[in-house]
A = this chain, B = another copy of it.
């Protein structure tokens, strides 16, 4: 089993990575304040993994309140959050009850925000079951819901007590979602880990064939990279660089997700197309060469990801991007690449260059 420790200012929590973790309730037990959990999952994941987990937990004396939500980004809403609160209150969960998320990023964000806000905060454990959530949303404590006017506009920072990444759950993951997760894995290589980018190019075929050892390595490297960034900038308060660097491709990508309606594009797919826009803009600023751009395009395509943006029109992209949380005092900060493996935040790209980069990637 691989074990990372995420060390933050006030607390530290372990990330366990291995096949078969879901049946090992003894890994969870020491992290519960009382033997009582609310287990939040969705209609896709629950039939696959909930029974086994509940049985393993009940065997060691843990009482489980199941909460099963509809599946999909379209349900990352106040209504779903309120369903969680309703069950927590109806079953008298108190401030010592641990909320456990079993599912992908949507379940993690929803259950995490419920944990951050139920009775002003209860303990939280993440059991991510998608590649995306194992390498991204389960590390760093971001939780939240969408608002009709923008993605993740309501939320909180709330750190889990424990993250369990069971690589066996990736065996049932649809190809399209495995690829979507790979967009974030590739991102870590692009923003700060060139050797990892090389490794991904060498091992992409084995990763897509779901080789457990390769996946565990990719998850571990991703979590280490994310943990280093998060530990240095826990609350995303750094003016330059810092945690914002994790958003390579995300400002463009969020515009695609919002513009197309939540759920049309998977998050990772939108990030892949958005990454191509960021890379193209970096080339226009003279930081990347054409060969760098093609190298990124090739890897994303090999991972089964889209490299062409949604055809919203550049004006609509700019409108949607202006709502981004990375806007500070009216100025849009984009994450760009000074070179492959070296990202920066940049607030000075001209409107013309941004428009040209968007249009190049929507035409491509």
Interface string of A79-122 (1 = CB under 8 A from B): 00010011001101011100000000000000000001111110
Task: Given A89-B149, A95-B328, A328-B96, answer yes or no on A156-B120 (Cβ-Cβ < 8 Å).
Answer: yes
A118 touches B153 (CB 8 A): yes
Residues in B neighbouring A155, C-beta threshold 8 A: 117, 119-120
Smallest Cβ-Cβ distance to A142: which chain B residue: B120
- Complex CA gap A150/B333 in Å reads 42
Interface string of A136-165 (1 = CB under 8 A from B): 000000111001011011111100000000
Interface string of A316-337 (1 = CB under 8 A from B): 0000001101011110000000
- Complex CA gap A327/B325 in Å reads 37
Q: Is A44 an interface residue (CB 8 A)?
A: no
Partner of A328, one of B90, B94, B157: B94
Q: Is A298 an interface residue (CB 8 A)?
A: no
Task: Given A85-B153, A147-B85, A154-B85, answer yes or no on A119-B329 (Cβ-Cβ < 8 Å).
Answer: no
Residue total for A at the interface (Cβ-Cβ under 8 A): 41
B117 touches A327 (CB 8 A): no
Partner of A119, one of B86, B116, B153: B153
Number of chain copies forming the complex: 2
Can you name 17 A-B pairs with beta carbons within 8 Å? A10-B10, A36-B329, A78-B82, A85-B147, A85-B154, A86-B149, A92-B322, A92-B323, A92-B327, A117-B155, A118-B153, A119-B155, A120-B143, A120-B155, A120-B236, A121-B157, A121-B235
Q: Is A172 an interface residue (CB 8 A)?
A: no
How far does the Cβ of A332 sit from chain B's closest Cβ, in whole Å?
A: 10
- Complex CA gap A360/B153 in Å reads 49
- Complex CA gap A120/B117 in Å reads 12
Residues in B neighbouring A119, C-beta threshold 8 A: 153-155, 325
- Complex CA gap A185/B95 in Å reads 27
Residues in B neighbouring A236, C-beta threshold 8 A: 120
Residues in B neighbouring A34, C-beta threshold 8 A: 329
A329 touches B94 (CB 8 A): yes
How far does the Cβ of A246 sit from chain B's closest Cβ, in whole Å?
A: 14
B322 touches A154 (CB 8 A): no
Smallest Cβ-Cβ distance to A97: which chain B residue: B329
A89 touches B120 (CB 8 A): no
Residues in B neighbouring A142, C-beta threshold 8 A: 120
B144 touches A327 (CB 8 A): no
Residues in B neighbouring A322, C-beta threshold 8 A: 92
Smallest Cβ-Cβ distance to A149: which chain B residue: B89
Query: 5 closest A-B pairs (Cβ-Cβ)?
Result: A89-B149, A120-B155, A34-B329, A119-B325, A94-B327
How far does the Cβ of A58 sit from chain B's closest Cβ, in whole Å?
A: 18
The listed residue with most B CB atoms (<10 A of its CB), out of A90, A117, A118, A153, is A117
- Complex CA gap A325/B78 in Å reads 22
B150 touches A89 (CB 8 A): yes
Task: Given A95-B325, A323-B89, A325-B95, answer yes or no on A116-B156 (Cβ-Cβ < 8 Å).
Answer: yes
B154 touches A117 (CB 8 A): yes
How far does the Cβ of A98 sit from chain B's closest Cβ, in whole Å?
A: 12
